[in-house]
Amino acid sequence: MIRRVFRPEPWKRGPVLVVLALLLGLLLLLHASIPGLAWNLGSLVETFLPWFGLFVPVLLAGALWRRSASATVALLLPVTVWLNLFGGLLADKSRPGGDLTVVSHNVGADNPDPAGTARDLAASGADVLALEELSQQARSTYEKGLAETYPHHTVRGTVGLWSKLPLSDTRPVDVKMDAGPLGEAKPDAITREYSRGLRTTVATNQGPLAVYVAHLGSVRVNPRAGLSSGQRDAGAQSLGQAVAAERTERVVLLGDLNGTMDDRAFDGLTSQLRSAQEVAGDGFGFSWPKAFPVARIDQILVRGVEPRSAWLLPATGSDHLPVAARISW
């Protein structure tokens, strides 16, 4: 007697794959509605949101293996949503021209070659150069190495700005890094030494440009606590308030913000400023870590000026890649 092996029709195969495809699409579509909960889950998902697209080829391979027509069609949801969110980043949006080149780089406190990093940055063509994570030991090395190219500079704590154009009205910006590990207030001298934000005015031929430099608090990811980002989130809120109070029409924010602009923690900034990479870049522009970049946490955000192009500079001795943009009025 011949037994017939029952095989479901193509539209009835792979129900688990269908469910997974729909869940992936809903996660991408409704990521802003994911609650934070104890794990800060919403921010954690949004930090790595583009990478969820890698699940699409995995599910597609499963659908083809199972010959599941329903799973293949279900994948249209995550593909469509992902392309809507990030498809624009895949094209080169750079345009020629521009009035000013700005560069931001977390030079790394453990950078083994600050002199070489200074030489590379001086040769970058930047008119305005922001540095973050300046150690006290390396500060003089950067000042010496950049002095010939940049006659004007200012440093506040661990952040600094070097410029070919005159600077004025420089002041620190509170990015909420003045608390000790247990929440106790640091002495004023320590607070000044470890200041991680500044604001200054760059005098250009087209008028004043307000430039902010910031290095927000670090985040940690661990299996028990999820995403720990309290200091960073408080710093982002404080920085957003400072930008909101800024009266200068043209504003540029440069810095290591320790987060991507998809993260809801930066809503206060992204509601006021545009990302140069998103407007005029080519690709995602992931800047960290240097060996295998997975996120763009180094940002160039603007208001009142037009980004013409945005790109990454070659690696230095830091664990971050420098980010650059050309802007016009």
Domain with CATH 3.60.10.10 in the chain: 100-328
User: In angstroms, rounded to a whole number, what is the distance separating the alpha carbons of residues 290 and 288?
Assistant: 5
Using DSSP, state whether 319 is helix, strand or coil. Answer: coil
User: In angstroms, rounded to a whole number, what is the distance separating the alpha carbons of residues 287 and 142?
Assistant: 21
The pLDDT value recorded for residue 61 is: 97
Are residues 109 and 159 in contact, defined by beta-carbon separation less than 8 angstroms? no
Whether the predicted pLDDT of 13 surpasses 90 = no
Q: Which of 230, 64, 229, 198 is CA-nearest to residue 134?
A: 198
The pair of three-digit structure tokens given for residue 64, joined into one six-digit string: 């083809």
Whether the predicted pLDDT of 178 surpasses 80 = no
Overall average pLDDT of the 62-80 stretch: 96
User: Looking at the DSSP assignment, which residues form a beta bridge with residue 197?
Assistant: 214
For 43-61, the pLDDT digits (tens) are 989 999 999 999 999 999 9
Q: Measure Cα distances from 221 to 28, 103, 158 in Å.
A: 21, 28, 24
The pLDDT value recorded for residue 179 is: 42
Using DSSP, state whether 105 is helix, strand or coil. Answer: strand
For 209-223, the pLDDT digits (tens) are 999 999 999 988 776
Using DSSP, state whether 189 is helix, strand or coil. Answer: helix
Instruction: Provide the mean pLDDT of the chain.
Output: 91
Are residues 162 and 135 in contact, defined by beta-carbon separation less than 8 angstroms? no
Q: Give the confidence band of 41 by pLDDT, cuts at 50, 70, 90.
A: confident
> What are the DSSP E strand ranges found in 277-317?
298-303, 306-312
The pLDDT value recorded for residue 259 is: 96
Are residues 180 and 162 in contact, defined by beta-carbon separation less than 8 angstroms? no
Q: Which of 215, 198, 109 is CA-nearest to residue 156?
A: 198
Q: How many Cβ atoms from other residues are within 10 Å of residue 86's Cβ?
A: 16
Q: Give the confidence band of 181 by pLDDT, cuts at 50, 70, 90.
A: very low
Alpha helices in the chain (DSSP H): 15-29, 41-47, 55-66, 69-74, 76-86, 114-122, 136-146, 188-193, 230-244, 267-270, 276-280
pTM of the predicted structure, to 2 decimals: 0.90
The domain 100-328 is classified under which CATH number: 3.40.250.10, 3.40.50.720, 3.30.930.10, 3.60.10.10?
A: 3.60.10.10
The pLDDT value recorded for residue 4 is: 55
Are residues 34 and 86 in contact, defined by beta-carbon separation less than 8 angstroms? no
Overall average pLDDT of the 130-145 stretch: 97
Are residues 324 and 102 in contact, defined by beta-carbon separation less than 8 angstroms? yes
> Using CB atoms within 10 A of its CB, is residue 162 exposed (0-12), middle (13-18) or buried (19+)?
buried
The pLDDT value recorded for residue 7 is: 56
**DSSP 3-state helix, strand, coil percentages of the chain (rounded to 5)?**
35, 25, 40
Does an H or E element contain 198, and which?
strand 197-204
